Amino acid sequence: MPNITFSSPLHKDKTVYAVAGSHRKTVLEIAKENHIPIDFSCGDGECGTCLVRVHSIDKNQLKRMGHPLTEREVKVLKDLGKITQAQIDQMAIDDLMPSEWRLACQMVVRDEDIVVHYPSR
Ligand code: FES
């Protein structure tokens, strides 16, 4: 089970241990359960309010950073200029995250230790 460190210039860093079953939970759900104040609005991958920057601190799983981008995540990140079509195409080939930018309401954690930076705009 992974450790997730939530880091923000506005709040004290907090590391939470994602318990069994959390592999189906989004970063936003885990943040809410642990009283981490990540901004959000729609909660459904459409508005981009929950934009976060994520990096892996697990040396064996560099650049995985959660399950692949959802279709909604791809659209919003592209609209926000955080990801290019070339990066999207490459992601389909190698399953590596092309960008550190993610939507907290869409990103489902994997078994890897990550740092989630918020707010990140
Ligand atoms: S809260 Fe709207 S995209 Fe995540």
With beta carbons less than 8 A apart as the criterion, state whether 30 and 4 touch.
yes
With beta carbons less than 8 A apart as the criterion, state whether 116 and 7 touch.
yes
With beta carbons less than 8 A apart as the criterion, state whether 18 and 2 touch.
yes
User: Strand 101-103 and strand 51-56: pairing?
Assistant: antiparallel
Tell me the CA–centroid distance for residue 107 and ligand 1, in Å. 11
pLDDT at 24: 81
- Does the pLDDT value for residue 35 go beyond 80? yes
Instruction: Please give the tally of structural domains in the chain.
Output: 1
Q: What is the pTM of this model?
A: 0.89
Detail the DSSP E strand segments found in 42-97.
Answer: 51-56
With beta carbons less than 8 A apart as the criterion, state whether 54 and 73 touch.
no
CATH of the domain at 72: 3.10.20.30
Binding site membership of 48 for ligand 1 (Cβ less than 6 Å)? yes
Least confident of 17-21, 38-42, 77-81, 113-117: 17-21
Binding site membership of 45 for ligand 1 (Cβ less than 6 Å)? yes
pLDDT at 83: 93
Q: Which domain holds residue 110?
A: 3-117
Determine the atom of ligand 1 nearest the C-alpha atom of 51.
4
Q: What is the mean pLDDT of the chain?
A: 87
Residue of the CA atom closest to atom 3 of ligand 1: 45
